[in-house]
Amino acid sequence: MATVSYDESPQPVRSRFGRNRLTVTVAALVPTALAGALVWQGVSGAGENDGGPPTARAAVSPAVPTPPQSPADDLPGGGDPTAPTSPPATPDTSTAPTAPTGPLAGKVVVLDPGHNPRNREHTAEINKKVDIGTTTKECDTTGTSTNAGYQEAEFTLDVTHRLRDLLVAEGATVTLTYDNDRPFGPCIDERARIGNNAKADAVLSVHADGSAAGNRGFHVILPALVKGGGADTSAIVGPSRELGERIVGNFARETGSAPANYLGGGTGLDVRSDLGGLNLSTVPKVFIECGNMRDSKDAALLTNAEWRQKAARGLASGISGFLKK
């Protein structure tokens, strides 16, 4: 039989105060821990939720109520309803016109596209006589055309538009005697007045001839010395000749066309005293017949847009050279 051993050592006596001491200690720690948790939550902010370090939350001042605004506070003069008021400023939306720039700035050119495509519909009006100084002549004519029906008046408008654009690009102020904006005319005396009233530095009347087949080439018509009635070209004969000579040289170079073989002795110049547009002019003025519409070879040139652009360049170079002298 096994021997049972008993521990005979005395057992420690448990104080009756031990449990109470533990209870007191725990009770004392709970409020402290709770206060610490509240402090931690107060300073941690969003950092706790997003896993970042604690961040200080900005202090928010208590809202201060704003006193209601008096309607008088909106009045000028610090709320004084009797203070004078100024009308609101109106923005200036106007723009000053831009002055032309370029080598021909300040120069005035008048271009006169010969005839009018609708003259043929107003024969009674264009057949009325007007005074050209030394005599009377018809207000205007229908002009000529190619054998295929391309009108001189269509040609002259096309070349004039091209010429206008080239001169404007150089800074010139350009006026047209008409721009397909009237049923007929203008009459030859009115065409002259338009150039005179504009105080033009140069006037060019654009035409094409209607001579016999085989007559080829271009020519420039200059004013003769005319003095009588309402005509006096004495002041413009010299400068008009210079303008015409410059146009002849530049037109031949740009187009490759030769001066007329049927008048002018190969000079490309013709002087006339029977044209009202020249007789009544008081400013330098010439006409150009760019070619003969009744000749098939010249007609092939006149109806070609590329050639018409060359013609415009030749005319622009001649006018520009005259104005820059």
DSSP, collapsed to helix, strand or coil, labels residue 69 as coil
Q: Are 103 and 168 a contacting pair, CB within 8 Å?
A: no
Count other Cβ atoms within 10 Å, centred on residue 142: 19
DSSP, collapsed to helix, strand or coil, labels residue 315 as helix
Of the listed 170, 245, 254, 289, which one is catalytic? 289
Distance CA 226, CA 273 (A): 7
DSSP type of residue 3: P
DSSP string for residues in 184-242: S---HHHHHHHHHHTT-SEEEEEEEE---TT---BEEEEE---EETTEE-TTTHHHHHH
Q: Catalytic annotation on 289?
A: yes
Count other Cβ atoms within 10 Å, centred on residue 232: 16
User: Using alpha carbons only, how large is the chain's radius of gyration in Å?
Assistant: 50
- Structural tokens at position 311: 């013609």
Enumerate the active-site residues: 289
